[in-house]
Amino acid sequence: MSSFAMEWYLIALLMFIGFYCMLVSRSIVRQLVGLEIVSKAAMLALISAGYWSNNLVFAQALLITMIVIEVVVVAAGLALLVKNFRLHGSADIWKLDSLKG
């Protein structure tokens, strides 16, 4: 088996772990942990694709943009978590129903 196929197989496994975490957990923090793991898998896929197609410079430029977006998403998610916790005393996604009509 080629190195590329083996690396992408492990990346797929990493992505599965992240999706599983997002699927089974009710805690907002763990949802964000799952999102981070999926995002790490996507970053590895990006750099691996850049490496194997001899385009590592552009892959790195794209990855820096991706890291900035990831930081903003996580910061916004955690800010919403803390705000929700202060208002309702809970970090459970099933209890995020205060806007329900």
Partner 1 sequence: MNDPRLVLFALTALFSIWAVMARSLLTSAIMLALVSVTVSLIFFDYGAPWAGVFELSVCAGLITVLFIGAVSLIRSEEEKHPESRARFYALPLAAAIFAIAGWFYLPPFFAEMAGWARPGTGGGTIGLALWDMRRQDLLGQVLMLAAGVFVIKSVFPRRTEK
Fill in the per-residue mask, 29 to 58: x = in contact with partner 1 (CB under 8 A), - = not in contact.
Answer: xx-xxx-xx--x--xx--xxxxxxxxxxxx
What are the respective helix, strand and coil percentages of the chain, to the nearest 5?
A: 80, 0, 15
- Candidates 64, 94, 98, 100; binder of partner 1 (CB under 8 A) is 64
CA distance 14 to 12: 5
Taking alpha carbons only, the member of 6, 71, 98 closest to residue 44 is 6
User: Is residue 99 close enough to count as binding partner 1 by CB under 8 A?
Assistant: no
Size of the site for partner 1 (CB under 8 A): 71
Fill in the per-residue mask, 65 to 94: x = in contact with partner 1 (CB under 8 A), - = not in contact.
Answer: x-xxxxxx-xxx-xxxxxx-x---xxxx--
Q: State the nearest-atom distance from the C-beta of 99 to partner 1, in Å.
A: 15
CA distance 63 to 42: 10
